[in-house]
Structure 1
Amino acid sequence: MNYRFWCGECGFKTTWGDPSEAGRQHEDHYTARHPGLPLGGQVETGTKGPAAGGGLGCVGMVVAVVLLLIIAAACGR
């Protein structure tokens, strides 16, 4: 599972990653941009990001449509 932290003060979001890496990015952001404020915001969990693997998404759909069009054109002759 991947994690992403959202800043409670601005629109910053960490990159997707393991909890320790995303948490470190969150702390670094607060130290640099909001010194003296306690950490705030939200934590998002999910299976997104490069470490999550996942399918081909849009690319897979485009390839499937192109293949169907080629098959349809070949059968229509």
Structure 2
Amino acid sequence: MAGNCRCWCGECSYRTAWLSEEESAEQQARHFAEHHPGVAPSHRVEFRAKKHEGAGCVVVVALLLLLLIVLATCQYQSGSASMPQLDAFRLRG
């Protein structure tokens, strides 16, 4: 199973695979010993972003679209019956 951590070498473009934090540090130490002997180890640690559960934005957009359709349908149906009343009100006002 893939981990959530990888190390990038500070001296070259090497990076470990996604491993646990311990495994990644061990692999990085081995890399330094083999490829950069006598150089003080330097590296950057990267943590994988957590996956977001659920659909999030898609659900919100779908609900808003559905609400818009319902409101437009209701306004259209009620608007055709109430238009004469609105015109009569405007003429009086």
Instruction: List alignment gaps of at least 5 residues for structure 2.
Output: 52-93
What TM-score, normalized to structure 2?
A: 0.45
> 2:6, 2:38 → 1: CA distance?
20
- Where in structure 1 do 4 or more consecutive aligned residues deviate above 2 Å? 34-38
User: Unaligned 5+ residue runs, structure 1?
Assistant: 55-77
Deviation of the 1:37 alpha carbon: 4.0
State the one-letter code of the partner of 2:25: G
- Pick the structure with greater CA Rg: 2
More strand by share: 1
Q: Give the TM-score normalised by structure 1.
A: 0.51
Residues matched between the structures, number? 69
Write the deviation string for residues 21-72 of structure 1: whole angstroms up to 9, x where unpaired: 000100000000x44445102000x3x5xxx8x6xxxxxxxxxxxxxxxxxx
Indicate the structure with greater helix content: 2
**Superposed CA RMSD:** 3.3
Q: Distance in 1 between matches of 2:5 and 2:12?
A: 18
Residue 10 of structure 2 corresponds to 8
More RCO (CA 8 Å, sep 6+) = 1
Q: Which one of 32, 40, 43 corresponds to residue 42 of structure 2?
A: 40
